[in-house]
Amino acid sequence: MKNITNNTIKKILVGFSAGVICGLFTSGGGLILLPAFIYMLKMKAKKARATTIFCILPMVITSTIFYSQNNLINWHTGILCAIGGIMRKFYRS
C-alpha cells in the first residue's frame, strides 16, 4: 500500500468540505475550494480558479440530477442564461 502524504490528506479534506458545504447550503463548492487551493495547497490563483471549476463540475451534475428528478428546474430560463454566459465568455470587450 502506498504511503498517503499529508498533501493528499489535505486534498481529500478540501474536497469533502466543499461537498458538504455544497450539499448543506446549496452553494457552489468554489466558496471553499478556491481559498483552500490558494492558501492550503499553495496553488497560483489562475491554476486554483481553473481547478475549482473542474472540481465543481461533478457537484453541479449531481445537483442537476436531483433537482431535475423533482421537477425543480426551469429549463428555459436556465438554458437562456447559460447561452448568455457562454456568449459573454467568448465575446469579451
Looking at the structure of the chain, the number of domains it has is 1
pLDDT in tens, 53-85: 898 888 788 888 989 999 999 999 999 998 988
Residue 57, domain extent: 6-90
CB atoms near residue 36 (< 10 Å): 21
8 pLDDT tier (thresholds 50, 70, 90):
confident
**The dihedral formed by the CA atoms of 32, 88, 65 and 58, expressed in degrees to the nearest 10:** -40
Q: Averaged over 38-56, what is the pLDDT?
A: 91
Gap between the Cα atoms of 73 and 3, Å rounded: 44
Would 58 be classed as within a structural domain?
yes
Q: In this structure, is residue 1 part of a structural domain? A: no
Q: Is residue 86 part of a domain?
A: yes
CA angle 87–65–60, rounded 5-degree value: 50
pLDDT averaged over the chain? Answer: 84
**Which percentage of the chain shows pLDDT scores above 90?**
30
Closest CA to 36 of 11, 8, 6, 9: 11
- What single-letter amino acid sits at 51? T
* Mean pLDDT within 24-49: 84
